[in-house]
Structure 1
Amino acid sequence: MVEAPLIAGIELGGTKINCILARGPDDILDEVRIPTTRPDETLAAVEAVLDRWRGFVALGIASFGPVSIDHGAGDYGHITSTPKPGWAGTDVARRLERHAGVPTGFHTDVVGAALAEARWGAAKGLRDVAYVTVGTGIGVGLIAGGRPVDGLTHAEFGHIRPVRAPGDEWVGNCPFHGACMEGLAAGTAIAARTGQPASELSADHPAWDGVAHALGQLLHTLVLTGVPRRIVMGGGVMVGTTHLFPRVRAAMTKSLAGYIALPEVALAETFVVPPALGGNAGPLGAILLGEQALDAHPAS
């Protein structure tokens, strides 16, 4: 059996950077965590890690967003309109590619997680998958045929506007859209609405009804793209509150109202599932982004 290539993976998060040197989940040579501070300081620390590593043939970067993924754009590989202070307009991919000197793949952290869960995790063996993170924010990574669903930019399902629950007129918490998905159901929105972190809310707190109502419509929308054969839901809000999964599945089923009559969707317990890779989904997804870059440049 041919040995998998050795790849360097960088998961760029809002609070920390996970650096990994690996061939896969069972062959990890090194892991390094770096705090996310100022862009120059943070990227210099990543470059120092890459300088210590030897033998990797590609680099993958799974980043918080929004990011520019259009290879023909002048700002390809940059973080774009992030509210994270100092990071808007930061060149990540091209800078690290120049430094490493190897083929480099770049995408969102949620696309990376989707790729990893499809290869090794809760959607193993499936090539058409959505990964939803519900934490500080809400993001969706969508892959079809084993590759990211790309076009002008990456998907931003966290900012769709759901139909509001009857009688709910709360303005929401998103600085851009108010009561969009992220403004209603992300961890920051839950805390803003209730005055408590999601992790401290009791399972019978009425706020969960609104969260499930909104997330059910997000899943409804993902089903209607016609892409995912399974939806993996991670992030601190979902993983930290197991009682939310049955509510969200029920809300999706109610919202769809029988329109998509497919057995995969009807079996909601196996269609909407928690992640299997935990905190390693993002870094391992970066490894797969590097693998895809290597496949695109086989002579490099």
Structure 2
Amino acid sequence: MAVPEEAPLVAGIELGGTKCVVLLATGPDDIRAEARIATTTPQETLDAIEDRLREWRIKHRFQAIGVAGFGPLALDPRRPDYGCIVNTPKPGWDGTSLIQRALRFGVPVGLDTDVNAAALAEGRWGGAQGLQSWAYVTVGTGIGVGAIVEGRPIRGLGHAELGHLRVPRLKGRSWPGACPYHGDCVEGIASGPAIAIQAGFPAESLSRTDPVWDDVVHALTGCFHNLVLTTAPERILIGGGVGLGQPHLIPRIRKALAESLNGYAVAPRIAEDIEAFLAHPSLGNRAGPLGSIALALGSLATVEAAPILRSAQACA
């Protein structure tokens, strides 16, 4: 596909728990450069990212930077900890600023969680195009939910953390769950590590009839039930290593969700085309990296916010 001459060239950083993907692109059909960097210590990881951005800035003069990071993140630009990772269980990363170095390049910077960014990418280029409200759910090492309402991620005191909702357990289940904060929240029951602890094997090694999947389907269905009745998404897209790697899950969750909603409120509209309502993301595993490009492009659309962003201070 030909790229319009006016398409701005931007840089994006998807900072994940094990690796970072750094892109130089105008969109999914025009990726000029890509780098993968292991997530080790904050100093080592951010030094490597900054070196790559500096090289690209000299050669290509990109116009903005998008930063999509694992969280939780402080996302209130009025606060001095804006752009910092907060209360993370990842050793060494609590209090690390993900935005301070990006601001050194003197271009607009867009920042959000990795899952919100992926949701925005699906809205711009993927399976949520043309919608006003939708959700992107990643089921993998953790469970994150990017809930978009009227084209914008939910925001209040912080960003939404729907993967940590508490939902009813299946009868007879007493396993305490794997979440270090909440035990048997959705992430504590249905994430990849939770599945491995409960089953004794990683998710990819389990048969589709393993009883652990009953807990996973039940927990995710409870999460989606609550999501439908709070943010009223027009579509829910399920990605992540477990979400994309277990094709038997979505049909089971579709059936369970219809039964859970039991015809209430918007349930009949969902039932009209539940295959489209609950689906895989069109961008697949590229939704995350492209989310950082979506954030960069979004920062250009709201460039008047740049003076606020430049005031961000160190986290600690």
Whichever residue aligns with residue 13 of structure 2, its letter is I
Percent identity of paired positions between Structure 1 and Structure 2: 55
> Is 2:255 the counterpart of 1:250?
yes
Which letter does structure 1 place at the counterpart of 2:84? Answer: H
Find 2:34's aligned residue among 28, 31, 34: 31
Number of residue pairs the alignment of both structures matches: 299
Alignment of 1:266-277 (within 5 A): 266=271, 267-277=273-283
Deviates more, 1:139-148 or 1:200-209: 139-148
Residues 78-157 of structure 1: pairs in structure 2 closer than 5 A: 78-98=84-104, 100-157=105-162
TM-score under structure 2 length normalisation: 0.91
Aligned residue in 1 for 2:311 = none
Aligned Cα RMSD in Å?
1.5
Shift of 1:21: 0.6
Distance in 1 (alpha carbons) for counterparts of 2:211 and 2:181 = 25
Distance of 1:237 and 1:198 partners within structure 2: 7
**CA deviation vs aligned residue, 1:152-182 (integer Å, no higher than 9, x gap):** 1001011111011111121111111111111
Q: Which residue of 1 aligns with 2:229?
A: 224
| Match of residue 66, structure 1, among 72, 76, 80 | 72
Kindly state the Cα deviation for residue 299 of structure 1 after the two structures are TM-superposed: 10
Tell me by how many angstroms 1:111 deviates. 0.5
Instruction: Return closer, same or farther for 1:255/1:272 CA change in 2, 3 Å cut-off.
Output: same
Match of 1:42 among 45, 69, 73: 45
C-alpha distance in 2, partners of 1:261/1:49?
Answer: 47
**Alignment-derived partner of residue 310 in structure 2:** none
Q: In structure 2, list runs of 5 or more residues that go unmatched.
A: 307-316
* Structure-2 residue corresponding to 1:237: 242
In structure 1, how many angstroms separate the alpha carbons of the residues matched to 2:288 and 2:199?
30
Contact 1:216 1:250 in 2 (8 A): no
Summarize deviations over 1:227-265 as a string: whole Å, max 9, x none.
411000001111111001111111211211111235542
1:32 maps to a residue whose letter is A
Q: Is residue 215–residue 248 contact of structure 1 (8 Å, CA) maintained in 2?
A: yes
Quote the offset at 1:226 in angstroms. Answer: 3.2
Is 1:188 matched with 2:193? Answer: yes
2-side partners of 1:268 and 1:259: how far apart? 15
- TM-score, normalization: structure 1? 0.96
Further displaced range: 162-171 or 9-18: 162-171
Partner Cα separation in structure 1 for residue 156 and residue 231 of structure 2: 16
Give 4+ residue runs of structure 1 displaced > 3 Å after superposition: 261-264
